[in-house]
Amino acid sequence: MATEHLNFINGKKVPAKSGETYENRNPADQDDLVGVFPSSGGDEVSAAVEAASAAYPAWRSLPAQARGDIMRKATELMRERKEDFAQLETREMGKILKETRGDVQEAIDTGFYAAGESRRLWGTVAPSEMPNKMCYVTRQPMGVWGMICPWNFPMAIPSWKLFPALTCGNTAVIKPATLTPASVDAFVGCLQEAGVPDGVVNIVYGSGSRVGEALLNHPGVSGVSFTGSSEVGRRIAEVTGKTLKRCSLELGGKNAQLVMADANLELALEGVLWGAFGTTGQRCTATSRLIVEDGVYDRMLEMVVERASKLKVGNGLDESVEMGPCVSAGQRETVHGYVEVGKGEGARLALGGEQLTGDGYDKGFFYKPTVFADVTPDMRIAVEEIFGPVLSVIKVKDFEEGIKVLNGTPYGLSSAVYTKDVDRAMKAIELIEAGITYINAPTIGAECHMPFGGVKDTGNGHREGGWTAYEIFSEPKTVYVDYSGGLQRAQIDNA
């Protein structure tokens, strides 16, 4: 029987004032009702922000190491429940268990990293240009953060936001994606059980138009962290810019894997299969473009089509399945719409291009692994983010053209180059316009202790993950201690 969930505000379960709810169902099996959640709005957001504001002074005053200890305890609970959380994620998001186990493990890694960082929230000491004077920089929390999360990594991405924000001494109101709310509920439950005080973390369920907009516009919110589409990111930047709220945006991608003629083609094949069809292509780091040097184009295309045609698609709870469904009917329609666009633009459909039907598929939102050949760099399927299992294969004559095509989109998140030439690899690292570059590995994300994010339309300069996340959720304060006993005027007295 499905669980009925409520908002979590000031340590209490709270329904939406409207009384409205929505259902969360398994995208692989619509008969599987995962949970029922409240459709909340501005009233619930205001109550959550008020609770977070009231809890902030005591939480920020707690020593950072004590906050870190709570993060560690919560992470240990997550590790104990890893398999249960992975099963839950697969039911509500659809990706296979191998991937959801990795998603939960990333949250676990991020939590243990946060516990360590609580003892490394270092500042900087610099010599003063005046005698008997000390200069240093420390970092301080900012207040209440609003967090708006996507559905494709329903536990890892909330962990990128909550763990560093709380460790820095902030409080939070988090809005889970409407398609994957149960994973955030499970995550925050571990934080509560580990000892996070009431009001420090609050969950408000509901749509972006009601809950998200209320968070953006609430005067009690000091910053907003958002992961999602570039279109919505621009809206968030516009709204928060009016009140000079800090906003951290991790947005879309149109990632490419460049394969040179000297590459290990078998290795490149494994990389593009995982990059393009892992998570059913529904990740901002997905390999959406395969750029291949002319001399090995035909062979590489043949290898990709042959292997992709054999991928087993189905319910991710089946350990033998290699690719799950699209997350929703709407997402599958979007994917198919782009397939029609590609066909209309003159690209050659080499594989797939239609939804899967029949036994085992009619209750879910399944789509065939799809490969377009003879794609040109100006086609929409080569420029726009699709967020589905669609790969565009592009032929280039040499390395220089390959780099130009790779950089030829509005996005710049993850990138990959396959070559055995170390000089060429180093040149690619220099020239590629992306936040992440892999050599001889697919366009995947980052390890938890490394910065994650991109350039151009992929974000606004912030990086989640690693030490850089702690710079997002804190403010530098420059401090001067003058123990000279007299007035010193720096540049005036030093002139």
Q: What is the pLDDT of residue 446?
A: 76
pLDDT confidence tier of residue 153, bands split at 50, 70 and 90: very high
Helix (H) or strand (E) holding 277: helix 265-277
Q: What would the mean pLDDT of 160-180 be, rounded to a whole number? A: 98
DSSP designation for 5: P
Is residue 444 pLDDT above 70, yes or no?
yes
Mean pLDDT on 407-424: 98
Cite the DSSP H helix spans in 168-264.
181-194, 213-217, 230-242
- Distance between CA atoms of residues 462 and 477, nearest Å: 19
Query: In the predicted model, what is the mean pLDDT of residues 54-78?
Result: 98
DSSP SS3 for 231: helix
DSSP letter assigned to residue 261: T
Q: Which residue, 423, 411, 420, 417, is CA-closest to 387?
A: 411
Given a cut of 80, is residue 495 above it in pLDDT? Answer: no
Q: Give SS3 for 260.
A: coil
Question: Do the Cβ atoms of 97 and 105 come closer than 8 Å?
Answer: no
Indicate the residue type of 20.
E
- Kindly state the average pLDDT of the residues 251-265: 98
Length of the chain: 495
pLDDT at res. 2: 59
Has residue 62 got a pLDDT over 60?
Answer: yes
pLDDT at residue 252 is higher than 80? yes
pLDDT at residue number 119: 96
- Predicted confidence (pLDDT) at residue 492 exceeds the cutoff of 90: no
Q: Each residue of 98-143: pLDDT tens digit?
A: 999 999 999 999 999 999 999 999 999 999 999 999 999 999 999 9
CB 260 within 8 A of CB 399: yes
Q: What number is the average pLDDT over the span 324-338?
A: 98
* pLDDT for res 445: 79
Q: Answer whether residue 367 shows pLDDT above 60.
A: yes
In degrees and rounded to multiples of 5, residue 365 shows phi and psi of -115, 65
Catalytic positions are: 250, 284
**Domains (ranges, CATH) in the chain?**
3-251+459-478 (3.40.605.10), 255-439 (3.40.309.10)
Token pair for 418: 């396959």
pLDDT value, residue 254: 98
Statement: residue 1 has pLDDT above 60? no
Place 359 in a pLDDT band, splitting at 50, 70 and 90.
confident
Where does residue 263 fall: left (phi above 0), alpha (psi -120 to 50 degrees), or beta otherwise?
A: beta
Q: Is the pLDDT of residue 303 over 80?
A: yes
Buried b (16+ CB within 10 A) or exposed e, 437-469: bbeebbbbbbebeebbbbebbbbbebbbbbbeb
Return the structure tokens found at 154: 């329903």
- Give pTM, 2 decimals: 0.96
Phi, psi of 60 (to 5 degrees): -70, -25
Instruction: Quickly state the pLDDT bin for 433 (edges 50, 70, 90).
Output: very high
Residue of 359 and 249 predicted with greater confidence: 249
In whole angstroms, what is the distance from residue 270 CA to residue 267 CA?
5
Q: ∠ CA 206-212-213 to the nearest 5 degrees?
A: 125
CB atoms closer than 10 angstroms to residue 229 = 16
Average pLDDT of the chain is 97
